[in-house]
């Protein structure tokens, strides 16, 4: 019998565990993850495999550290980016939680370098952006880099190893609920975990499972927007005037044709594009290293679609587009912006005759217009043209577009302000999988917040 069971050892689950240990060191806590310990995590693509091998449990996303483990470790120090914490707590409270989580990252070895704090520089860039009808969001960033990110997570694992029970390579299969109160979890190896409180933090990878499980227990979900788009890769000098000052710029645009919101996301100066695998579907992402630099910069352009009644399956919608890209390209597609505008596919020869070499070598040169719906495609083209005004060269014919990038934070759980589910007592949901957050620091902060709420109940 545990006091608290936590499903998912991503930043949300880890920070929940750290805060419980801090506040209630005598409590028995179990943290369950379907992936391995941090030192056992591998991804064939990172080991040099030319193609994603569709591992049953994606090595990039599952295991200690969750999706954040091999991530770039960009900690965005504002509640305006990376989640919806301000929907549950006041802005000041959200800032305090983010500040506290950031201090924990520092305590476990994060670098003390923060980009984008100079208000004057921000105002100058925001002014330029405004002239191109773009909104620049103020968002200072602490950048760990993938290698340091792994060290920080290892330090947290070492600390918690001695204080709680950690179960790896085992999945939570079903929630045990009696009289509208959670009693524990059944694991896929048949074991039963009994616990007074359960925190669910399965990340985007586990969002489908969470939706299914919550439907069984009649826990309400609300449709979130689904974000579909591409990853853009261009020569680093194109964005250097901005990235050298801010590291990452969060730019928002409303496409003239459809009025949809398009935003830059996860910018990686001198980084590389990577492939992810969501339950057998290949999608694209990006990261950068602290000590290894490529000549390219990449970032996502995401178009947000919020669906109205009667449509209720935004996750499936995103998956459907990603599957289509996989079908056409046998995996990830890459296309030069010029080829897209000219209405022709990119070929290996055309990619070779470019001024930029793709960092994701397994991507197939092809035609994204066969895959991305007209609405999102036009919005992406218009955004690239707007960005070209503040970073000339963005809309170059050589700019590479990888498809597709999709964010499955679609289903948002109906939660109280304490992040407890409406309908099942003592069951809490946090992080990206619950639709509460979209980034490392807010996911971590949601873990701290929920831990405090639970500990206050005793
Ligand atoms: C390549 C990449 C780069 C990124 N870069 C950044 C960045 O620079 N900055 C930023 O802010 N964000 C970044 N992100 C996003 C960030 O990683 C996520 O927002 C964050 O990890 C979400 O945390 P989480 O704890 O909610 O979920 P996750 O980190 O996804 O962790 C969920 C964990 O739950 C486990 N799990 C799922 N289902 C079950 C189950 N049924 N039973 C047991 N375990 C289960 C999974 O194995 C996983 O380990 C990046 C993501 C990726 C993929």
Residue 186, φ and ψ in degrees, nearest 5 = -100, 130
State the distance from the centre of ligand 1 to the C-alpha of 67, rounded, in angstroms.
3
State the distance from the centre of ligand 1 to the C-alpha of 418, rounded, in angstroms.
21
Residue identifier of the C-alpha nearest atom 22 of ligand 1: 432
Q: Which residue has the higher pLDDT, 315 or 323?
A: 323
- Evaluate whether 112 touches 52 at the Cβ level (below 8 Å): no
Residue identifier of the C-alpha nearest atom 27 of ligand 1: 203
Q: In this predicted structure, what is the pLDDT of residue 223?
A: 73
Query: What percent of the chain is helix, strand and coil (3-state, nearest 5)?
Result: 35, 25, 40
Q: Which residue has the higher pLDDT, 457 or 411?
A: 457
The strand pairing partners of 300, in sequence order, are 231, 265
SS3 243: helix
Rounded to an integer, the average pLDDT of 265-275 is 93
- The residue to mutate among 6, 8, 268, having the most atoms of ligand 1 within 8 angstroms of its beta carbon, is 8
Q: How confident is the model over 329-379, as pLDDT tens digits?
A: 899 999 999 999 999 999 999 999 999 999 999 999 999 999 999 999 999
Q: Is the Cα torsion angle 428, 281, 259, 267 positive or negative in sign?
A: positive
Residue identifier of the C-alpha nearest atom 49 of ligand 1: 66
- Evaluate whether 357 touches 348 at the Cβ level (below 8 Å): no
Q: How confident is the model over 18-42, as pLDDT tens digits?
A: 999 999 999 999 999 999 999 999 9
Rounded to an integer, the average pLDDT of 311-321 is 85
Residue 421, φ and ψ in degrees, nearest 5 = -70, 145
Residue identifier of the C-alpha nearest atom 33 of ligand 1: 8
- The residue to mutate among 66, 75, 450, having the most atoms of ligand 1 within 8 angstroms of its beta carbon, is 66
Assess whether the C-beta atom of 247 lies below 6 angstroms from ligand 1: no
The token pair that represents 67 in the structure block: 């999706």
Please say if the pLDDT value at position 45 is more than 80.
no
Residue 260, φ and ψ in degrees, nearest 5 = -75, 150
State the distance from the centre of ligand 1 to the C-alpha of 48, rounded, in angstroms.
22
The strand pairing partners of 302, in sequence order, are 229, 263
Contacts of residue 138, defined as CB under 8 A and 6 or more positions apart, other chains included, come to 78, 80, 116, 119, 122, 126
Q: Using 50, 70 and 90 to split pLDDT, how confident is the model at 409?
A: low
Please say if the pLDDT value at position 410 is more than 70.
no
Assess whether the C-beta atom of 266 lies below 6 angstroms from ligand 1: yes
Q: What atom of ligand 1 comes closest to residue 67's alpha carbon?
A: 29
Assess whether the C-beta atom of 285 lies below 6 angstroms from ligand 1: yes
Q: How confident is the model over 421-447, as pLDDT tens digits?
A: 998 999 999 999 999 998 999 999 999
Rounded to an integer, the average pLDDT of 217-221 is 89
Q: In this predicted structure, what is the pLDDT of residue 259?
A: 95
Please say if the pLDDT value at position 148 is more than 90.
no
Q: Where does the chain hold its CATH 3.50.50.60 domain(s)? A: 2-114+140-220+413-457
CA distances 228 to 180, 379, 397, 404, Å, are: 36, 11, 22, 7
Report the percentage of the chain scoring pLDDT > 90.
Answer: 77
Q: What is the dihedral of CA 337, 342, 345, 347, to 10 degrees?
A: -70
Residue identifier of the C-alpha nearest atom 7 of ligand 1: 74
Mean pLDDT, the chain, as a whole number? 93
The CATH classification number of 2-114+140-220+413-457 equals 3.50.50.60
Q: Using 50, 70 and 90 to split pLDDT, how confident is the model at 309?
A: confident
């Amino acid at each position: 019998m545990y006091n608290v069971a936590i499903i998912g050892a991503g930043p949300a689950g880890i920070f929940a565990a750290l805060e419980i240990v801090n506040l209630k060191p005598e409590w028995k806590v179990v943290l369950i993850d379907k992936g391995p310990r941090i030192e056992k995590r591998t991804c064939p693509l990172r080991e040099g495999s030319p193609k994603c091998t569709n591992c049953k449990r994606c090595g990039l996303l599952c295991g200690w550290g969750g999706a954040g483990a091999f991530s770039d470790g960009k900690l965005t120090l504002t509640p305006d980016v990376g989640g919806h914490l301000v929907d549950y707590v006041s802005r000041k409270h959200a800032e305090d939680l983010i500040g506290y989580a950031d201090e924990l990252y520092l305590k476990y070895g994060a670098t003390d370098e923060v980009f984008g704090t100079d208000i004057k520089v921000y105002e100058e860039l925001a002014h330029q952006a405004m002239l191109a009808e773009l909104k620049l969001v103020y968002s200072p960033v602490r950048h760990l880099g993938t290698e340091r990110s792994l060290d920080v997570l290892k330090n947290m694992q070492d600390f918690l190893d001695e204080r709680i029970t950690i179960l790896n390579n085992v999945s939570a299969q079903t929630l045990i609920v009696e009289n509208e109160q959670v009693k524990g979890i059944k694991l896929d190896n048949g074991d039963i975990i009994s616990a007074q409180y359960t925190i669910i933090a399965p990340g985007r990878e586990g969002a489908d499972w969470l939706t299914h499980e919550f439907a069984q227990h009649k826990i309400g979900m609300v449709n979130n927007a689904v974000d579909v788009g591409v990853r853009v890769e261009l020569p680093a000098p194109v964005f250097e005037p901005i990235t050298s000052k801010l590291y990452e710029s969060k730019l928002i645009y409303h496409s003239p044709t459809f009025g949809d919101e398009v935003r830059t996301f996860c910018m990686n100066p001198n980084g590389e594009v990577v492939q992810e695998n969501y339950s057998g579907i290949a999608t694209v992402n990006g990261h950068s290293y602290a000590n290894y630099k490529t000549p390219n910069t990449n970032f996502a352009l995401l178009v947000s679609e919020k669906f109205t009644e009667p449509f209720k399956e935004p996750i499936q919608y995103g998956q459907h587009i990603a599957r289509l890209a996989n079908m056409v390209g046998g995996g990830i597609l890459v296309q030069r912006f010029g080829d897209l505008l000219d209405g022709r596919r990119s070929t290996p020869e055309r990619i070779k005759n470019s001024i930029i070499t793709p960092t994701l070598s397994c991507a197939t040169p092809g035609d994204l217009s066969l895959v991305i719906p007209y609405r999102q495609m036009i919005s992406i083209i218009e955004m690239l043209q707007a960005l070209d005004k503040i970073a000339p060269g963005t809309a170059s014919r050589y700019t590479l577009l990888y498809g597709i990038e999709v964010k499955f934070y679609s289903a948002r759980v109906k939660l109280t302000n304490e992040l407890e589910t409406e309908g099942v007592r003592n069951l809490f949901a946090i992080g990206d999988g619950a639709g509460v957050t979209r980034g490392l620091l807010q996911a971590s902060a949601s873990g701290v917040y929920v831990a405090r709420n639970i500990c206050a109940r005793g």
